[in-house]
Amino acid sequence: MTNYPHVISLPNLNSLSLEALVAQMVVIRASGYLFDHQIQYPMWEPPASKLQHWIQDLGVGGVILLGGSAPELKLRSQLLQSWANIPLLIAADIEEGVGQRFPGATWFPPPMAIGAVALKDMAKAQQYAQEMGKVTATEALAIGINWILAPVVDVNNNPENPVINVRAFGETPETVSQLACAFIRGTQDYPVLTTAKHFPGHGDTATDSHLDLPILPHSRSRLHQIELPPFQAAISAGVDTVMTAHLLIPSLDAQYPATLSQGVLTDLLRQELGFEGLIVTDALIMGAIAKRCCEAQIANRYGGDEAAVMAVEAGADILLMPLNPETAIQAICDAVKMGRISHERILSSVKRIWQAKSKVMDSFPLNSTTENFLQKVAQPLAVTTANHILLDSLKIGGSLPLATSPTHSNVQLRNLILVDDVLACDFLGRNAPAIDIPKQLGYKLQWLDRHTLPTTDDTDHLPGSQPTLLQLFIRGNPFRGTAGMMVAAEIWVKKLLKNHDFQALAIYGSPYILAQLLRDLPPQVPYFYSYGQMPEAQAIAMNLLFSQTTPGSGLTEFI
């Protein structure tokens, strides 16, 4: 086994077998945690023995990580690189900074928060986006990540979009283009790769491609007007990779999703737009591809491995998370041996991979000291920038601050928190400001999700009247399937309005939920909206609702 942290050169392509070349085109998913018993998604994240086999023996080209804290990721990435005979690209979906995925690092508000700042001050928004790119690159490298799967350059002009939502910088191609390019500029002094996604544009869909295949019915002229300009801008700004979208766009290809379409990847992206960097598929295990592949396999058309072959035929250089890495590699090799794919086609992709790995070569020796690590992650300036983005993008209204004393002393104040899934709320621990600050002021916590309440509008059997602070944590997320209010939230909103119990409202996440609720919210009811859901956003909200002197808020200096 090569002790990789000391190796900083790439082998000659002519010295590699076909299998080794193809393996370099595969990026696998791995848990960011250090031990097998910590694996959270066993369907996608292999145990250590299989992971080591895929890296050391198969020679896969890269790994995408999820889970674990920032310090754990530093050790994890060192271990993965030590198994590799050829340097690994190590990627992560860190669209909101490293802290979005790996606690301990800086967690920025979603990109749409910067887009909201741009509506008032584009220059300030661009400064924020560039600083976000700089901090993300710095912290990513500190923990061993050299491939940032950001920025999202989709134009979220569909409020019903269940998966892009606040991940986009905005609703117009002009805003998205300017802010995405600023983010890319912020990374360019660092040996990291950036990624424009999801080509040719996932913003105007109402279907989550993690679950099924969206169809985008727009004409070519409309695509060139709305969806494509941010990709063109990102390419001009020097983005390193472009990620495909699992979408069916009949005006470009009536038969195959963009990920599997030569007309989309080669004809449009490579030739028409002139992109010379890496084309990477979105995860091939996603429902838009995997589900349709399984259905199609029944008709002897294509299965999981066939999707990998078709993606290469279409023009993809890197296959992200194929259903089975080993059989996908073999299927592509077989396609080459049968003449379906040329050997030159494989070489052209691996040459691009080599160029990308050469760019990030300085990231491979991961021998920085603990002190050096601590000086690069969650620095005061980075945290301050994230908080200022939260403050500059928030929306407030009604009568502030909130009066917390009930009319009758025997009335119990209620802090009602609704989330999509109680089991997936890392941002709402025991001491989270949304929970702790109201508790100090006498509020009793009631915490529910979409599984907890009836799915009908029958409120007769719900609890009785109580002055209620309603806090909603709702945003578009992969696998959620909807960007709108959950049924449970709709039931509670109607009940609180009917009983005149709506004491205050805090929304963290989707701005479209705020717009929906403001139509019925009495004007005197105080409300707060934040794009972010992290503890810092919660602390700002509770400070504003209860006044600047709320005990334990920890963010009074920003108000």
- Which tens digit of pLDDT belongs to each residue from 320-362? 999 899 999 999 999 999 999 999 999 999 999 999 999 998 7
Q: Which domain holds residue 52?
A: 18-371
* Residue 356 sits in the same domain as residue 421: no
Q: Is the pLDDT of residue 7 over 50?
A: no
| Confidence at residue 425, expressed as pLDDT on a 0 to 100 scale | 85
The mean-pLDDT minimum among 359-368, 427-436, 527-536 falls in 359-368
Instruction: Characterize 264-302 residue by residue with b for buried, 16 or more Cβ atoms within 10 angstroms of its Cβ, and e for exposed.
Output: bbbbbbbeebebebbbbbbbbbbbbbbebbeeeeeeeeb
> What number is the average pLDDT over the span 405-409?
52
Q: Is the pLDDT of residue 226 over 50?
A: yes
* Residue 349 sits in the same domain as residue 450: no
| Confidence at residue 299, expressed as pLDDT on a 0 to 100 scale | 31
Q: Is the pLDDT of residue 369 over 80?
A: no
> What number is the average pLDDT over the span 74-80?
96
pLDDT band at 209 (very low <50, low <70, confident <90, very high): low
> What number is the average pLDDT over the span 430-453?
89
Encoding tokens for residue 437? 């600050």
The mean-pLDDT minimum among 23-32, 198-207, 270-279 falls in 198-207
Higher pLDDT, 127 or 429: 127
What's the distance, Cα to Cα, between the start and end of the chain in Å?
A: 55
| Confidence at residue 490, expressed as pLDDT on a 0 to 100 scale | 81
* Residue 460 belongs to some domain of the structure: yes
> What number is the average pLDDT over the span 189-209?
87
Domain final residue, candidates 307, 338, 371 = 371
| Confidence at residue 236, expressed as pLDDT on a 0 to 100 scale | 98
Q: Strands 395-397 and 527-530: what pairing?
A: antiparallel
* Residue 331 sits in the same domain as residue 439: no
| Confidence at residue 492, expressed as pLDDT on a 0 to 100 scale | 86
* Residue 78 belongs to some domain of the structure: yes
> What number is the average pLDDT over the span 208-232?
86
| Confidence at residue 488, expressed as pLDDT on a 0 to 100 scale | 77
* Residue 184 sits in the same domain as residue 249: yes
The conformation of residue 256, written as its DSSP 8-state character, comes to S
Mean pLDDT value across the chain: 87
| Confidence at residue 392, expressed as pLDDT on a 0 to 100 scale | 97
Q: Is the pLDDT of residue 553 over 60?
A: no
* Residue 100 sits in the same domain as residue 213: yes
| Confidence at residue 3, expressed as pLDDT on a 0 to 100 scale | 37
**Strands of the sheet with 147-148, listed across from one edge:** 147-148, 89-92, 62-66, 26-31, 319-320
* Residue 552 belongs to some domain of the structure: yes
Domains of the chain: total: 2
What is the rounded CA–CA span in Å between residue 558 and residue 232? Answer: 37
Encoding tokens for residue 43? 């369907």
Q: Is the pLDDT of residue 150 over 80?
A: yes
The mean-pLDDT minimum among 74-83, 410-419, 469-478 falls in 469-478
Q: Strands 147-148 and 444-449: what pairing?
A: unpaired
Q: What is the pLDDT of residues 296-327, one digit of tens each?
A: 443 333 457 999 999 999 999 999 999 899 99
* Residue 456 sits in the same domain as residue 489: yes
* Residue 511 sits in the same domain as residue 413: yes
The conformation of residue 368, written as its DSSP 8-state character, comes to -
* Residue 12 belongs to some domain of the structure: no
pLDDT band at 547 (very low <50, low <70, confident <90, very high): confident
**What does pTM read for this prediction?**
0.91
Residues recognised as catalytic: 210, 282
> What number is the average pLDDT over the span 231-246?
97
What is the rounded CA–CA span in Å between residue 473 and residue 447? Answer: 11
Helix (H, G, I), strand (E, B) or coil at 523: coil
* Residue 362 sits in the same domain as residue 410: no
Whether 383 and 415 have beta carbons less than 8 Å apart is answered as: no
| CA Rg value for the chain | 24
Q: Strands 26-31 and 62-66: what pairing?
A: parallel
Q: What is the pLDDT of residues 492-505, one digit of tens each?
A: 888 899 888 999 99
Q: Is the pLDDT of residue 210 over 90?
A: no
* Residue 452 sits in the same domain as residue 343: no
pLDDT band at 482 (very low <50, low <70, confident <90, very high): low
Q: Which segment, 226-240, 368-382, 504-518, is predicted with the most confidence on average?
A: 226-240
What is the rounded CA–CA span in Å between residue 398 and residue 420? Answer: 26
* Residue 11 belongs to some domain of the structure: no
Higher pLDDT, 361 or 179: 179
| Confidence at residue 401, expressed as pLDDT on a 0 to 100 scale | 82
* Residue 231 sits in the same domain as residue 297: yes
CATH number at residue 418: 3.40.50.10870
| Confidence at residue 551, expressed as pLDDT on a 0 to 100 scale | 38
| Confidence at residue 206, expressed as pLDDT on a 0 to 100 scale | 63
| Confidence at residue 227, expressed as pLDDT on a 0 to 100 scale | 96
> What number is the average pLDDT over the span 172-185?
98
**Looking at the DSSP assignment, which residues form a beta bridge with residue 508?**
473, 530
Higher pLDDT, 363 or 37: 37
Whether 414 and 469 have beta carbons less than 8 Å apart is answered as: yes
* Residue 223 belongs to some domain of the structure: yes
Q: Is the pLDDT of residue 78 over 70?
A: yes
| Confidence at residue 424, expressed as pLDDT on a 0 to 100 scale | 79
What is the rounded CA–CA span in Å between residue 509 and residue 100? Answer: 14
Strands, E, within 51-139: which ranges? 62-66, 89-92
| Confidence at residue 402, expressed as pLDDT on a 0 to 100 scale | 81
* Residue 333 sits in the same domain as residue 421: no
pLDDT band at 116 (very low <50, low <70, confident <90, very high): very high
| Confidence at residue 5, expressed as pLDDT on a 0 to 100 scale | 41
> What number is the average pLDDT over the span 184-189?
98
Q: Is the pLDDT of residue 548 over 80?
A: no
* Residue 242 sits in the same domain as residue 124: yes
Encoding tokens for residue 36? 């097998």
CATH number at residue 305: 3.20.20.300
Other residues' Cβ atoms within 10 Å of the Cβ of residue 400 = 14
* Residue 8 belongs to some domain of the structure: no
Percent of the chain having pLDDT more than 90?
A: 68
At 121, the amino acid letter reads D
At 464, the amino acid letter reads G
At 316, the amino acid letter reads A
Q: Is the pLDDT of residue 182 over 90?
A: yes
* Residue 67 belongs to some domain of the structure: yes
Q: What is the pLDDT of residues 79-113, one digit of tens each?
A: 999 999 999 999 999 999 999 999 999 999 999 99
